[in-house]
Amino acid sequence: MAAVIRMHPMLLQLTLTSFVFLSCLRNGNAGITSTFIRSEYPSVDIPLGNKVFAVPKGHNAPQQVHITQGDYDGKAVIISWVTPDEPGPSKVQYGTSENGYKFSAEGIVTNYTFYEYKSGYIHHCLVDGLEHDTKYYYKIGSGDSSREFWFTTPPKIDPNSRYTFGIIGDLGQTFNSLSTLEHYMQSKGQAVLFLGDLSYADRYQYNEVGLRWDTWGRFVEQSTAYQPWIWSAGNHEIEFMLIWEKLLLSNPIFSGMLLLIWPPKVAILFEPHTRQISSCITVGDGGNQEGLAGRFKDPQPDYSAFREAAYGHSTLEIINRTHALYHWNRNDDGKKIATDAFVLHNQYWGMNHRRRKLKKHYVRKSLEQIAIY
Ligand SMILES: *[C@@H]1O[C@H](CO)[C@@H](O)[C@H](O)[C@H]1NC(C)=O
Ligand SMILES: *[C@@H]1O[C@H](CO)[C@@H](O)[C@H](O)[C@H]1NC(C)=O
């Protein structure tokens, strides 16, 4: 819980830029409330026995496999997994051809207790020294219970690198969550920016909390084992630079929000719920058990450009240094429907843009505004 907002000049500058940038958005297409409200599936958690939570076959087989970014420039990943019965190896074997695991890396293992619940053995292994833009195959576990996956590293840092993020908020583990996850997996997303609440296990008590963490880990593995999910929840702050720089702020004020820095000077603030906060893109529900935020504040506040009560996911496609494309994809009757899209222009690279001088006192005022919510 140690992270605080760092008031260093870069963040100040970036934060202000987000206000400047988003105020442009605001003036564009003000005040649309979509009339769409869907009710395809009830917002209840998928029962424990469902196949989406199935434990992989074999004694002590690795489960809940997930990867995240392991460095600042896209040449490392951290691979994590859980073994249920005994610690087993924390080794990752990997290589660039299928079944050709030329390299290996050693990780660590840990475990914890929460009330009656005893976690499995949680492994984390840093795999570094990778090449950019390369597909790697990896293998974890031992003997008959070993499992194999793959991931692709991002392109070299370059202002014109193309990269597509998926953006998912408040996923949960309902049938709506499953619909969102399946739709996301059909998109071109290469990494997920995950906002806000993870498993919604806080609806449970005592050891059931831990059990629902585990089911959630198994549920999302179909994506998390194959591409980095970058978490906005948690007690730590990660910064990295690829074609972007991202700050994760775990200060209570920013809890669950994620600031994406699109260099050199555009900041986009993503927020997981439907809280009232000026100047950000709120990503709707992935499928949590609380159900949809069906009631909005009326009249629509003037800071809100578009809002819709739907489950789904977003993608942010960075096309080059000047253009990025944002899509909101609604889950609708089992289909994915793109219902909102806009192009973000990185005006820093625009020739005629008058650069604004940033004044510190103005930035502080903006941050205070954020703190109000
Ligand atoms: C971790 O696992 C070991 C071995 O099974 C066990 O003795 C220990 O109590 C566990 N620690 C926690 C914090 O649960
Ligand atoms: C970036 O992509 C957009 C859309 O494809 C294009 O119009 C624009 O000219 C490109 N900019 C650069 C700098 O390549």
Q: Which of 115, 116, 118, 122 to mutate to test the pocket of ligand 1 (most atoms within 8 A of CB)?
A: 118
**Taking the CB of residue 258, how many other CB atoms lie within 10 A of it?**
26
Side chain identity at residue 259, one-letter code: L
Considering every ligand atom shown, identify the ligand nearest to the alpha carbon of residue 346 and give its number: 2
Question: Rounded to the nearest 5°, which phi and psi values hold at 363?
Answer: -65, -45
User: Does 76 or 328 have the greater pLDDT score?
Assistant: 76
Cβ–Cβ under 8 Å, residues 329 and 336: yes
Q: What percent of the chain lies above the pLDDT cut of 70?
A: 55
pLDDT of residue 208: 76
Q: Residue 152 — very low, low, confident or very high, per pLDDT cuts 50/70/90?
A: very high
d(CA 167, CA 163): 13
Cβ–Cβ under 8 Å, residues 105 and 159: no
Could you tell me if the CB of 110 is within 6 A of ligand 1?
no
pLDDT of residue 149: 98
CATH architecture of 36-56+157-349: 4-Layer Sandwich (3.60)
Q: What percent of the chain lies above the pLDDT cut of 90?
A: 31
Torsion angle, alpha carbons of 291, 296, 301, 306, to 10: 60
Region 115-128: what's the mean pLDDT? Answer: 91
Q: In whole angstroms, how large is the CA radius of gyration of the chain?
A: 21
Q: Are strands 163-169 and 191-195 parallel, antiparallel or unpaired?
A: parallel
- Return all residues near 2 (Cβ < 8 A) that are at least 6 apart: 235
User: Does 111 or 363 have the greater pLDDT score?
Assistant: 111
pLDDT of residue 116: 80
Q: Give 226-280 pLDDT, tens digit per residue.
A: 999 987 643 333 333 333 333 333 333 334 445 555 555 455 666 554 333 333 5
Nearest ligand 2 atom to the CA of 320 is 1
d(CA 369, CA 373): 8
Tokens 């008590």 belong to residue: 205
d(CA 245, CA 228): 15
Q: Whose CA is nearest to atom 6 of ligand 2?
A: 323
Q: Which of 160, 243, 319 to mutate to test the pocket of ligand 2 (most atoms within 8 A of CB)?
A: 319
Residues forming a β-bridge with 261: 245, 267
For the chain, the average pLDDT equals 71
Q: Whose CA is nearest to atom 14 of ligand 2?
A: 320
User: Does 236 or 328 have the greater pLDDT score?
Assistant: 328
Structure tokens at 2: 């140690």
Q: Residue 206 — very low, low, confident or very high, per pLDDT cuts 50/70/90?
A: low
For 275-308, b/e burial (b = at least 16 CB within 10 A) is eebbbbbbbbbbbbbebbbeeeeeeeeebbbbbb
* Residue 307 CA from chain centroid, whole number: 20
Nearest one of 181, 238, 244 to 53, comparing CA atoms:
181
pLDDT beyond 90 at 50: yes
Reduce the DSSP state of residue 74 to 3 states and report it: coil
Nearest ligand 1 atom to the CA of 113 is 14
Q: Which of 9-23, 274-288, 339-353, 355-369 is the least confident region?
A: 9-23
Structure tokens at 120: 């499995």
Task: Find the 141 Cα to ligand 2 centroid distance in Å.
Answer: 45
pLDDT beyond 60 at 172: yes
Side chain identity at residue 17, one-letter code: T
Q: Where are the domains of the chain?
A: 36-56+157-349
d(CA 241, CA 68): 14
Region 80-92: what's the mean pLDDT? Answer: 96
Task: Find the 341 Cα to ligand 2 centroid distance in Å.
Answer: 17
Cβ–Cβ under 8 Å, residues 53 and 46: yes
Cβ-in-10-Å burial (0-12, 13-18, 19+) of 353 comes to exposed
Q: Give 217-226 pLDDT, tens digit per residue.
A: 999 999 999 9
User: Does 36 or 60 have the greater pLDDT score?
Assistant: 60
Write 45-50 long-range contacts (CB < 8 A, 24+): 45/172, 45/173, 45/174, 45/200, 45/203, 45/212, 45/289, 46/173, 46/174, 46/175, 46/177, 46/178, 46/215, 46/219, 48/211, 48/215
Q: Are strands 229-231 and 191-195 parallel, antiparallel or unpaired?
A: parallel
